[in-house]
Amino acid sequence: MMKRRALSMSFMQVYTSKVFYLAIIGVTVLCFISVWDSLKMPGVSVSYLIEIFIGLAMFKKIVVLFAAIPFVSSFCSDWKCQYIKPVIIRSGINIYIRAKIITCFVTGLMTVFLGLLLFILVLSFRMPIFPVGNYGNMINLPLAPLATSFFPISYIVARCFVFSLSAALWSVVGLTVSAFIPIHFVAIASTVIASYFLEQITYFYLPDWLNLYKLTGSEDVIHQGPYISLFYFIFVFVSFSALAGLLFQYQVKRRINNEVV
Amino acid sequence: MKLFNVASYVCLQNFRKWQVDYRVWIIAILLFMFTQIFTKEIIEFSKAINIEVTPWIFPFLFTQKFVKLLFFFPLILLFCDAPFIDDNQAYVIARSGRIPWSIGQIAYIIIASSIYFLFLLFLTIIINISHIQFTSSWGKVLGTLANTNASSVIGLKTFVSRNILYYFTPLQAMWFTFFLSWLVGIVLGLVIYVINSISNTRIWGVLTASFLLVLDATVTGFPSIYRFSPVSWSNLDRIDINGTTQMPSISYIYIGLAILIIGMIILGIIANRKQSIHVLPPI
């Protein structure tokens, strides 16, 4: 019961805040800026612009920043103003930490996913979802079969969802960093920095199935069908987030026990 | 003389804080990331054609309007807490006096802005040092990217301008890009400083500087409006070299920047004389 209350309190903190909704609009605006030059190209479609945004655009790293703005620095505020104490006394430290991690992950996911859906919705008034004619060369495995299924738009939604999962992971990483360095600016900026460096490291030193750069772009890393691949993407991002969450838990407990000077 | 000695101590104190200021370190890391991301294609292209690139990438680093936003935004972050009133500034003002303190803070903006762009300049060279050939010419890689459609083929995110290669030697382009960017950086820093000092907040200065940045991206493609957008003046491609375009001339830019900088320095000092000192929490 207490766990649910702590979680709903965290969620209420985010979803009653204007910042969350502004961040969603920010993601949409950023998407438009990213593909601005391609918007006037002849025969352009929503799926093509999503491919450009996720695959090529220069601003996709900055999207992570918008995912971080609504909640990543919440621990900094809790710690600096010592709001953490009354909450921990009533709910317990583990419940507080779990509520923070889950809310951070879900908020990061929702901010980017809803922002991308809004982008798709606005675009769909002006252009077709898929290009007219044969578009087989414009959709990528492993999610490509979704485009030819009963509900083709699920291909685009799935791609956006995987991209949003990665933003959720970086949000949790930002939250973890904020437990080590409780400064708002550092917490938010560290999401972008961590995404850049960890993607580079996993790109060069880890196998494809753990390569965060390829996983973010929902590339065919395990050579399976769309549904298994989708579950795999979810599994990897949730697992990495859980790992970051464990680090967060470790550091918050140290702080509460006055082990951090 | 005493005034300038005191001002220099005030200025140096701000730099000494950089060692423990996470914001400065994060800005340095962000600049490293952006430079690597936006020069990557040039280096990959040079590897593909097996010719090393010359070290004169800096003049083309922020020629694209949205990339320029990314490179100038950390500068706004650096000065976002202007007029830099933290816990100990009340004691510093009491010891130094208001005018030397103001001069010291303004000198900090001027020097920090130069360090920012020097850091960027050297980053473009250091990050790519293993693929760089030191010559005094532009080199084949930049020449090909400027004069052919190779830049669109490789998906280059910045814009290698043919005009810059034609009108400037590499050293001239490096110097003028650095110098004009530095002056524009000072203008942005002083805008934040003056407006924050007058409004006694942190938000209005940052918003005004951000507006100037976005204005630069918005006026792209309208040469007659460049003369009203100071941030656009840092781009060599937006200067009228031979008097045949509607873009501002270099004399106009120098005079415009000088008026803006001197005007804002005077305004800043006047604002600081009457300003009440509110210590705000660190960012």
The minimal CB distance from A58 to the residues B23, B29, B157 is found for: B157
Confidence of residue B28 (pLDDT cuts 50, 70, 90): very high
Confidence of residue A134 (pLDDT cuts 50, 70, 90): low
B146 or A172, which is more confident: A172
A236 contacts: CB under 8 Å, gap ≥ 6 = A209, A210, A215
Indicate whether B69 pLDDT > 90: no
Residue pLDDT, tens place only, B132-179: 888 888 888 888 888 888 887 777 778 888 888 888 999 999 999 999
- Domain residue spans in chain A? 2-256
Question: CB–CB of B163/B73 below 8 Å?
Answer: no
Contact B23 A186 (CB under 8 A): yes
Q: How far is CA B57 from CA B35, B39, B61, B236, in A?
A: 10, 8, 6, 13
Contact B26 A190 (CB under 8 A): yes
Q: How far is CA B136 from CA B32, B39, B272, in A?
A: 25, 20, 47
Contact A185 B155 (CB under 8 A): no
Give me the half-sphere count of Cα atoms (radius 13 Å) on the Cβ side of residue B135.
12
Confidence of residue A166 (pLDDT cuts 50, 70, 90): very high
Distance, in Å, from the CA atom of A118 to the CA atom of A112, rounded to the nearest integer, reads 10
Determine the number of helices (DSSP H) and then strands (DSSP E) in chain A. Answer: 12, 0
CA-nearest residue of chain B to A80? Answer: B281
Contact B70 A185 (CB under 8 A): no
User: What's residue A2's pLDDT?
Assistant: 62
Distance, in Å, from the CA atom of A23 to the CA atom of A112, rounded to the nearest integer, reads 8
Contact B155/A at CB under 8 A: yes
Helices (H), chain A: 2-15, 18-34, 46-55, 60-68, 74-80, 84-91, 93-124, 144-147, 153-180, 184-205, 212-216, 226-256
Q: A157: distance to nearest CA of chain B, Å?
A: 26
Q: A181: distance to nearest CA of chain B, Å?
A: 9
Confidence of residue A221 (pLDDT cuts 50, 70, 90): confident
Contact A196 B33 (CB under 8 A): yes
Distance, in Å, from the CA atom of B170 to the CA atom of B137, rounded to the nearest integer, reads 6
User: What's residue A111's pLDDT?
Assistant: 95
A31 contacts: CB under 8 Å, gap ≥ 6 = A53, A59, A63, A115, A116, A119
User: What's residue A142's pLDDT?
Assistant: 82
Q: A186: distance to nearest CA of chain B, Å?
A: 7
The minimal CB distance from A189 to the residues B30, B70, B157 is found for: B30
CA-nearest residue of chain B to A81? Answer: B281
Distance, in Å, from the CA atom of B184 to the CA atom of B169, rounded to the nearest integer, reads 22
Indicate whether B280 pLDDT > 70: yes
The per-residue pLDDT of chain A, averaged, comes to 88
Q: What is the pTM of this model?
A: 0.83
Contact B26 A186 (CB under 8 A): yes
Give me the half-sphere count of Cα atoms (radius 13 Å) on the Cβ side of residue A117.
13
Distance, in Å, from the CA atom of B160 to the CA atom of B62, rounded to the nearest integer, reads 10
Residue pLDDT, tens place only, A39-65: 888 878 888 888 888 876 667 888 898
- Domain residue spans in chain B? 2-274
Contact B70 A62 (CB under 8 A): yes
Q: Exposed (0-12), middle (13-18) or buried (19+): which is B203, by Cβ within 10 Å?
A: exposed
Q: How far is CA B177 from CA A147, A230, B57, B61, B241, in A?
A: 48, 47, 11, 10, 14
> What whole-number percentage of chain B has pLDDT above 70?
100
Amino acid at A172: V
